[in-house]
Amino acid sequence: MKKYGFSLLILIALLTCSIYVLYVSNEESRISISAILVLPVLVLMTALNGRKNFVILVTYVLSLGFVYLLITWFVKSSNETQLFYIFEHLLSSIIVFLYWLLLRQLRGVFEENQVLENRVKILEGYSETPQLLSYSEFLDRTDFLITGANRRNELNYLIHIHLNPSTLNKKTIIQTLTVAGLNVFRANYDVMSQRNKTEFIIFLQNTTEKGATIAWSRYLENLRTDFTSIEYPFEAKIILVEESVESSLEKIEVAQ
């Protein structure tokens, strides 16, 4: 919130200075070089970012000061005109500096906001379907579980469910699979995720092929109450996970 407040304060100061420099230029009835140059400079700074904007800022301040010096030298301006040029140079430099500061501040706000959004997604385990791990988090969790299982010489199995392409209401079916999985599989032990819109995967930790088959049978019995058709709207395979979930899924894709 502090960054947003500071950005707003800079914006108000920038607008105030811009309005004032235009007002003074009209009152003095003199041609204001800074009033002509400042807008193109601000547009250029908007298109660029980072260190380039700082170079533009320094170049503008030095160049404008040099131009005003040449004007007062060759035209032999009065003291009043020289003071006007000094004031114009100072004020326009402040405007460009404030705009550079504003762009830098806004960039920091947007970057911080992006970091916070990514962190929230990770903490929430973002997924299209509630109560499921995101696929990236699912892979991280299963990699950890597989490493521990290999040390203890335990076996892990993966249930891969693929919805039929012609199936309607895929999101509703995934939600049904999730609810049934929460009722059947071991909480805080087995892991579920949605790989994409048509693939649902369940990782069974420390089990045998027979145990995986029994768990799958219980799962189908639980699903039967939700699917009234004779055939389920999906195909499923139970596969042994040896190295990683992704390598196991790749074997299925190659076999197909």
Segments making up each domain of the chain, as ranges: 2-124, 135-255
- How confident is the model over 56-86, as pLDDT tens digits? 878 888 887 887 777 777 776 667 777 777 7
Q: What is 135-255's CATH number, 3.30.70.270, 3.40.50.11540, 3.10.20.30, 1.10.287.70?
A: 3.30.70.270
The pTM for the full model equals: 0.50
Q: How do the pLDDT tens digits run along the chain, 256 residues long?
A: 455 555 656 666 666 666 656 555 555 545 566 667 777 777 777 777 667 778 887 888 888 788 777 777 777 666 777 777 777 778 778 877 877 887 787 777 777 777 777 766 655 544 555 557 888 888 888 888 888 888 888 888 998 888 887 777 778 888 888 888 888 887 667 888 888 888 888 998 888 889 889 988 888 888 888 777 677 888 888 888 888 888 888 877 655 5
Q: Helix/strand/coil (H, E, C) string of 46-111?
A: HHCCCHHHHHHHHHHHHHHHHHHHHHHHHHCCCHHHHHHHHHHHHHHHHHHHHHHHHHHHHHHHHH
Cβ neighbours for 201, distance < 8 A, ≥ 6 positions apart: 138, 158, 159, 160, 161, 192, 193, 194, 195, 245, 249
